[in-house]
Structure 1
Amino acid sequence: MLFYQNKGQNLQSRFIKYAKIDTQSDPSSSTHPSTSKQKNLAKVLVQELIELGIDDAAYDEFGYVYATLPSNAIKNVPVLCFCSHMDTSPDCSGENVKPIIHHNYQGEDLVLPDDHNVVIRLSEHKDLNAQIGNDIVTASGTTLLGADNKAGLAEIMEAIAFFKANPQVKHGTIKILFTPDEEIGRGVDKVDLQKLAADFAYTIDGETLGSVEDETFSADGVKLVINGVSAHPGFAKGKMESAIKILTAVVSALPKDSLTPEMTSGKEGFIHPVSINGNAERAEAEFIIRDFDDLLLQSHELTLENVVKEVLSSYPSSNYELVVTAQYRNMKKVLDQYPQLIAYGIEAIERAGLIPIKRSIRGGTDGSRLSFMGLPCPNIFAGEHAFHSKQEWISVQDMEKAVQTIINIACIWEERAN
């Protein structure tokens, strides 16, 4: 079997090209995709796929990119899909991204040129210890980089280019899916699984080199509305029950040493307010609730509601509305039914010369929802670090290993087929 080589620096060139295209999604938008600029990258990806000889490459009205690399095997190989998302997080600017390659990294702190207050310190980014001698890609200090998930896009594209250039390497049919709006939880809202026609999938959207992830948070969104009593502030004594003050009292009364993102890790869940707005008469807050256990998820929601009731006991003329919306569920429930998915992923990582790291994700991926929609889909590393921030970074060498892992996965499925 041939091994992937990053000839002519194609991989980093692809990644830098994609990173420069602004594709931030917008949670306040009701359109699909949430921002039309995501289609700018979709158009580039489709054109590159067509140039590689993928004749059916296209993007639809919702911004999804679909493409097929036909099988070159004589065996009946399950159809695999490799998936990454095109959007970047709305948490940090993605406009005018200026990727910088720091060649032959030697452990120094990386001071970013457009804002010297943004420093990627070795003491704060422990994974940099494994990057000595590698080439680190960062943004310039005023934006995120977009390695989440444009690294995954570039890696899948490079794997497809490898297979087209090396037809003697056998593989089954490979489906390509690039999605919009993953960062705002809508990544598969409009996906056409019948059109995709895959049996199994892998998202390429993980962090540390060698990681394979088969477990995510289960996630709900909660909208809390406080209906208070408004009155003229000059004549409010004994009358006003400010919805704003009631709502802030609720947030203040939530646990501070547990059940909050800044105090939890591992398998610990949380209750997290993400937005607040309103006035004296009506105020509302959006929360995200997370846990790996669905029963604990429900328990956290009950904790929130009990806090609301306790606070409102001091405001007899006010009331509340609490609406829970399911977002995604722990994909492990589905993936445990298909152990070969993880086993082949682990073997592919080992063949790339790495030590596999089986992990859980304190978050979600498109794979979470795809798994429950009937397309089992674990997550494989892309190599991204410090995502959603100006300190985001990735190494070219880790990206090369991700490409090799994708190639290995496809080859292993062909080898094991009848």
Structure 2
Amino acid sequence: MVNTQQIRPDADVPAGNGVTFEDVLAELADRRTEFREQRYVSKDFIARLKQLGLYRAATPTRFGGEPLAPADFLARIERISVVDGSTGWVASFGSALVYLAALPVATQAELYRDGPDLAFAGGLFPVQPAAPTETGFRVDGRWKFASGCMGADVLGVGIPGDESTGGKPRTALLRPEQVEIVQDWDVVGMRGTGSFDLVVRDVEVPREWTFIRGGRPTVDEPLYRYPTIAYAAQVLAVVGAGVARAALDYAEEVGAGYAGVTGAPKLADRAYYRAEIAGAEAALHSARAWFYELSHEVWDAVVAGDEATDEQNARLRLASAHLAKTSSDVVGRLLEISGTAPIHSAHPLQLLHGDALVPKQHAFLGPAMYDAAGAVLMGMPPTTPGFR
């Protein structure tokens, strides 16, 4: 049994209508197979996540939001991911509303007119051409990896930038009824994220309903001074940490009682198994500690009115990549020492291994981040576009 209380012991508080975090996690444990099989998190469960405040955790206070300090939001996502990585991944995009803070204030007021709980999903790549019009852009094309799109209230697609964006791409916002969702998500990990393709056919989007990803916010609140792209990397990395925690909990519980069909000693009686479990615990806890330590440090700086430095941003990016890799490595090693049982496609460690692989493979968290962070820490420009 996974022990999500290890992640955040104080999180079992009412989330609205008497619902607690534990209530929602228990429901998730019952429904995660459903989400995996249908390949997306159902919209009614997105509504449950909204009750936990996850989809107002990055909404500006002036529009009724209840912004969370990044570390607090990350801990919640990690805890969900212990139960189901796909749902943690989808819930993590509650943080993506920090991007929308770059919209004109009047647009944001309209966006949050019906309330602060807004589920946003985007298929930003590949960036597709969009012909300028007198009032905006004519959008037409197909975009990939729109995680959580089946439960989204608003969708975004990537279009080119121009001189006014400093070369950075824009995101154009659309209503769900303006977008066709093509359900072609067939993967070995994070099967339930619903990271489907978005298709838009000849829709004019007003300029004020577009924003520069990572652009300067029009709302001055502390959360929007925290490094935006680094935060986007953190929320994905912490999903991997939750998956690794679930794998360790499983390996420790099963190892204490499992004996192979050959009559060999149970796993916990084998020195190599005990040593690997201990090493995995040390590795995961160490990577998590640095990850959260940096998040608290940078948050304290921006709350004090300081701008996050290039070095702080680089360390956030590095710690995120390191956590994602460590988490994946932990699950991989547990798979290796668990005998023949995990060769079955539905074995829990096999499923967790696929889920743990996904964050590490993400462009925000891949090997290039080590090179870019190392360059910045030695006073050089980052070697990867969009590092900050």
Tell me which interval the TM-score lies in, with the shorter structure as reference length.
under 0.3
Give the structure with the higher percent strand: 1
From the CA coordinates, give the structure whose radius of gyration is larger.
1
Which is richer in helix?
A: 2
- Higher relative CO (CA 8 A, sep ≥ 6), structure 1 or 2? 1
Q: Normalising by structure 2, what TM-score?
A: 0.26
